[in-house]
Structure 1
Amino acid sequence: MFQIRQLLLASIAVCFTSITLAQSLSQKITTAFHQFASHESLAYGTASLTVINAKTNQVVFSANEKVGLAPASTLKTLTSAAAYYLLGTDYTYETTLAYSGEIDPQGNLKGDIIIRGSGDPSLGSDRFPQTSDQTVLSGWVKAIQQAGIRHIEGAVIVDDSRYNGHTAPGGWTWQDMGNYYGAGVSALNWRENAVGVNFRAGGTVNAPTSIVSTTADISYLQLVNETTTGDRGTGDRVYAFSAPYASRIYLRGTYGIDLRKTVYLSLPDGAYDAAYQLHTALANAGIDQTSAPTTFHLLKLAGSEIPQPGKVLENYRSPALRELIYWFNQKSINLYGEAFLKTMVYQEEGKTDTRDGAEMLRDFWTNKLAIAPGELKLMDGSGLSPENRITTHAMARILTSIRTAPWFGSFYESLPTYNGMKMKSGTIGGVLGYTGYQTAPDGTPLVFSLLVNNYQGPAQPMRQRMFQLLNTLK
C-alpha cells in the first residue's frame, strides 16, 4: 500500500511539474509575443504564431492562428512532405536520349536526336557533380558517337510535351518571372532554367553599365541592358523582365559601382536551351546537323510534324528525391517546388496544370489531417505567388504530423539552420516567416510556425525581432 501511495505521489509530482513547465513556457511566449506584436513595425500588419508540443500534440501557444497569411517560402515544407509521401524518398526522374530514323553505314543519321524530359529540375544543375551541364552534355555526345553517328540529317529536338511546354504559375508577378528565382517549369528543365550575366559598372554613379559576359552561350536571346551604375554599397538591384518563350530580356535597375557579382536571370525556355547546347556541343565534336535545334512545343506551334523517337541511346537518372529536396529547402529553389508539384499531380491525377497541382496539394493535407480547406489557399508549390494563404495552425499541425514518418530524418536535415534553430524561412514583399522545430529547455519537442505580413521598415530588423521572439522556445 505504501509503495502504491509513493508511486501515485511521484506520478502526481511529474504531472504537476510538466503542467508547471508548460504553463511557464506558454506565459513566457505570451509575454514575448505581446511585445513583438505591439511594435510600431506591425501597426498596419499582422503576426501569427502557433507552437505545438509535438509529444502530446497540444497547443502551447497560438495567436491569430486561424488567419490566412501569405507564407512565402515556408510553403516549401508542405510541398516537400507531400512529395515524400506521394513520390517516395528514392524517386528519380528519367531523361531519355534517343534518335528517330536510320543510321547508314557511313554514320549518317537520317533522322533527329531526341531528348525526352520527365520534369527533372536538376538536369544540368551544378548542385551535384553528375548533374552539371558539361557532364550531361559530354555523356550525350559520347553516347551519340558510340552509336556510330557522324552526321545528322535532321536536328536536336527536345520532347517537352509532358507538361505542354514551358510555363510559370499564373499567380507569379512580372517582376519575378525574369529573374532566376522566378524561372518557369517544363518537362525538360536545364541548368535550373537560369543563366548568369556579368556586368561592368560605369565610371560614375548613374552611368550606363555594360555586359561583359554570360555564364553560357545564349546568343539566340537579345539582352537589352538598361541598367545604370548604383552608388557604393548599394549592391545588386538589377531586375530582368521577360516571359516564357520571349526572345528579348530587358535588364533594368542599378548595379553597385563597387560590386563584383554574377547576376542570374531566368531562361524563357530551358528546353530550347538544352537543345541549343547539345546542338553546339555536337558541332564542336565534328557532328554537324542540317536543321536548327528546337522542341516539340515549338514544332507544334509551327504546325510541323512531331518525330517519333526510335532507338534509345541513354537513360539518364536524376539524384534521388531526398537529395533534391535537400537543395530545395536549403537554397529555397522555387523551380524545384513547381517541378515536384507537377510531378505529383501528373502521377496522381494525370494532370499538368499548376492550379490542379495546388488543389491536389491542398486536398492531400486537408483530407489527411482534417484541416479546414479555408486554412490552405494554394497557388503554387514554392510560395512565390503573393496570392498564397496559409494559417500557422495548419502549418504547425502538418509539421507535427510528419515527425513519425520514416523519412522525417531526411526532411529535418533539409531544413536550414537560422538563429540556431532548424527552420524554413520565407520572404517576399512585406512578408517574413519561419517554421520548424525546437527542443525546449525541459526536453519537450516543439513545432512552431511564425508568419508576419505587411510589416513596415527594413527586413533585417524584423528578422531580429522574430528571432528574439522564437528564442523563448529555447
Structure 2
Amino acid sequence: MPDKRSILFLALFFCCGLLHAQSLNLKLQTAFARLEQDTQCKYASVSLTVLDAKTGETVFLARPDMGLATASTLKTITSITAFNLLGKDFQYQTTLGYRGIIAADGTLNGDLIIKGGGDPTLGSWRYGSSKENTVLKTWVEAVQKAGIKKITGSIIGDDTVFGTQKIPDGWIWQDLGNYYGAGTSGLCWRENQFDIKLQQTQVGNPVKILRQVPAMPYLHFNNELLTGAPGSGDQAYAYLPDKNSIMYLRGTYAEDLTKRTISAALPDPAYDAAFRLTDTLYKLKIVAIGMPESTETFASLKRQMPQADQVIANIASPKLSEIIFWLNKKSINLYAEQLLKTIARKAGKPATTANGVAVLQDFWKTKGIDPNTLNIFDGSGLSPGDRVTTLTIAKILASAKKESWFPDFLKSLPIYNEMTMKSGSINSVLAYAGYQINNGRDLCFSIIVNNYSGKTSAIKAKMFKVLDELK
C-alpha cells in the first residue's frame, strides 16, 4: 500500500500536469483568436487541431471539422497510408527484356522492352542506385551479356501498369507542364522532368532558351517567356498540350535571378526512357533499326503492346522508407501520386488515382475515420479541390506514432520554425502538420488557413506565432 508521501507526490504530479494542460489550452486559444481576427484572415477559413501524439487525447480544437484544402500536408496522409499498406521495405521492380530471336551474329530479330512497375525513382539523381547513368549502364551490360549487337525492331517503353490517365482529376492547367505537375507513369524516368537553361535580356524582352538538360530533340519550344523586373521572381510556366510535341513557355523570369533554370514535365516518360537507351546503345554501335516507341505510340496506332519473351535485367527501386524520405523532404508530388496508384494495385484494383483514393479512404474508415473528412482527388495535395479536416490529419499523425516505422516517417519531415512538420502551399492556402514536444509531452498538430489575403510570408509568420505556443 503506498504511503502518504507517495500519494501526495502523485497528486501534485497530476495537478501540475493538469494545470500545464490548461495553461497550454488557454495560450492556444489566445494565439488562435489573434490569428483568426487578423486582417489577412478576414475572409479566410482557419482551423487548428492539437492532439497528444501518444494517447490521441485532445489538447486543443478550433474548427476541427471544417473541410479545407490541405496543399502538400496531404502528403503526410499518403505517406502514412503507404507505410501501413505497403510496408517500409517495399520496392518497385523494372525489367528489361526482349521478344524475338537472337541470331548467331548477335542480331535481335525483335524488340527490346522496358517494362515499368511504377517506380517513381528510376533515373532519379537522388539515389546512387537509380541515377540515370547507373540505370543505363545496367541495361547496356544486360544487352551485351545477352549477346545482342543489333536490333531489327525498336526499344519500347511499356508503362501500361498504371493505365492511361496520367493527370489526377482536379489539377489545374497552369501546373501540368511544370515539373511539380508531372503526371504519373508506369515507367517513370528522371522524375518525369527535364531542365531548361535560360538567359535573361532587358526587362520586357523575351528570355533566351540556351539549351535543355538533357537535350530534347523531339520537342519544339514556342517561347513567350519575358524578362521580368528585378524582384519579381520566377513566374515562368511551361504548357504542354496533351499528345503534342510543342511546349509553350509563358510568364516572366526576373532579370536578377541567378539560377537561370526552370524544370518542365516530360510529355511521355516511357518514350524518353526508350529514347535514351536507344541513343546510348547507338553510341556503342548497337543499333536499333526502328524508332523508339512507347505505350502511347501503340495506342495511337491501335496496336497491341508486345510482351517480352525473355527478361535480361531487373532493377529494384530504393525501399519505401527512402522514397518517402524524399517525398516529404522535397515535397515531390510525383512520388505521392505514384504511391496512391500503387496502393490501389496492391489491393488488387486497377491502378488508378480514383481507386487509390478509395483504398485510402477504406483503410482509414477501418480505423474510425469518417471518409467524408477525407474528400480528396489526389495524393499530393496539388488539387485545390481537396478537402480534409485538421482533426483527421492530426488523428492520422497520432496513429503513426505507435508504428515500428514511425522513426522513418518522422525523419522524412522537414524542419520549419524549429519544429518537425510538413508544409503545404498553393494559391491562398497555407498549412502545416507535424509533431512537437511540449514539456515532455509528445504532441501532433495540423493548422490550415484557406483564402487568406496578402503576402504568404506574412501569414506564415502569424501561423508560426500560434505554433510557437507548442514549444
Please classify the TM superposition score into its range, dividing by the shorter chain length.
over 0.9
What corresponds to 1:419 in structure 2? 417
What corresponds to 1:223 in structure 2? 221
What corresponds to 2:459 in structure 1? 462
Distance 1:82 1:246 in 2: 35
What corresponds to 1:75 in structure 2? 74
CA spacing shift, 1:217–1:318, aligned 2, 3 Å: same
What amino acid sits opposite 1:382 in the alignment? S
What corresponds to 2:182 in structure 1? 183
Moved more, 327-336 or 125-134: 125-134
What corresponds to 2:374 in structure 1? 376
Q: Is 1:443 the counterpart of 2:440 in the alignment?
A: yes
Tell me, yes or no, if the aligned pair for 1:168 and 1:244 is still in contact at 8 Å. Answer: no
Distance 2:137 2:232 in 1: 40
SS in 2 for 1:162: helix
What amino acid sits opposite 1:269 in the alignment? D
SS in 2 for 1:101: strand
What corresponds to 2:297 in structure 1? 298
Moved more, 158-167 or 115-124: 158-167
Moved more, 352-361 or 172-181: 352-361
TM-score when normalising by structure 1 = 0.97
What corresponds to 1:268 in structure 2? 267
Deviations 1:104-162 (A, max 9, x none): 11111100000000100000010112211122112211211221111110000011111
Cα deviation, residue 200, structure 1: 1.1
Cα deviation, residue 233, structure 1: 2.5
Q: Is 1:119 the counterpart of 2:118 in the alignment?
A: yes
Distance 2:137 2:241 in 1: 30
Cα deviation, residue 290, structure 1: 1.2
Distance 2:241 2:341 in 1: 20
Q: Is 1:170 the counterpart of 2:169 in the alignment?
A: yes
Q: Mapping of 1:273-422 within 5 angstroms?
A: 273-368=272-367, 370-422=368-420
Distance 1:140 1:345 in 2: 29
Tell me, yes or no, if the aligned pair for 1:177 and 1:243 is still in contact at 8 Å. Answer: no
Q: Mapping of 1:13-24 within 5 angstroms?
A: 13-24=12-23
What corresponds to 2:208 in structure 1? 210
Tell me, yes or no, if the aligned pair for 2:165 and 2:352 is still in contact at 8 Å. Answer: no
SS in 2 for 1:186: coil
Deviations 1:174-216 (A, max 9, x none): 00111000000010000010010011111x1101111101111
SS in 1 for 2:287: coil
What amino acid sits opposite 1:357 in the alignment? G
What corresponds to 1:254 in structure 2? 252
Distance 1:256 1:15 in 2: 58
What corresponds to 2:193 in structure 1? 194
TM-score when normalising by structure 2 = 0.98
Cα deviation, residue 307, structure 1: 2.2
What amino acid sits opposite 1:371 in the alignment? I
Moved over 6 A (4+): none
SS in 2 for 1:48: strand
Moved more, 294-303 or 120-129: 294-303
Deviations 1:392-426 (A, max 9, x none): 00010110111010000000000000011000000
CA spacing shift, 1:343–1:362, aligned 2, 3 Å: same
What amino acid sits opposite 1:471 in the alignment? D
Distance 1:401 1:81 in 2: 9
**Match among 239, 247, 262 for residue 237 of structure 2:** 239
Distance 2:266 2:381 in 1: 20
What amino acid sits opposite 1:307 in the alignment? P
Cα deviation, residue 166, structure 1: 5.8
Q: How many residues in Structure 1 have an aligned counterpart in Structure 2?
A: 470
Tell me, yes or no, if the aligned pair for 2:194 and 2:213 is still in contact at 8 Å. Answer: yes
What amino acid sits opposite 1:443 in the alignment? G
SS in 2 for 1:125: coil
Distance 2:216 2:342 in 1: 28
Moved more, 396-405 or 296-305: 296-305
What amino acid sits opposite 1:267 in the alignment? L
What amino acid sits opposite 1:50 in the alignment? T
Distance 2:59 2:77 in 1: 22
SS in 2 for 1:272: helix
Moved more, 45-54 or 64-73: 45-54
What corresponds to 1:154 in structure 2? 153
Cα deviation, residue 305, structure 1: 4.2
Cα deviation, residue 363, structure 1: 1.9
SS in 2 for 1:446: strand
**Match among 432, 440, 450 for residue 453 of structure 1:** 450
What amino acid sits opposite 1:455 in the alignment? Y
Tell me, yes or no, if the aligned pair for 1:161 and 1:297 is still in contact at 8 Å. Answer: no
What corresponds to 1:101 in structure 2? 100
Distance 2:54 2:396 in 1: 14
Aligned-pair identity in percent equals 44
CA spacing shift, 1:462–1:277, aligned 2, 3 Å: same
Cα deviation, residue 244, structure 1: 4.2
Cα deviation, residue 329, structure 1: 0.3
Tell me, yes or no, if the aligned pair for 1:122 and 1:191 is still in contact at 8 Å. Answer: yes
What amino acid sits opposite 1:460 in the alignment? S
Deviations 1:61-80 (A, max 9, x none): 11010000000000000110
What amino acid sits opposite 1:149 in the alignment? I
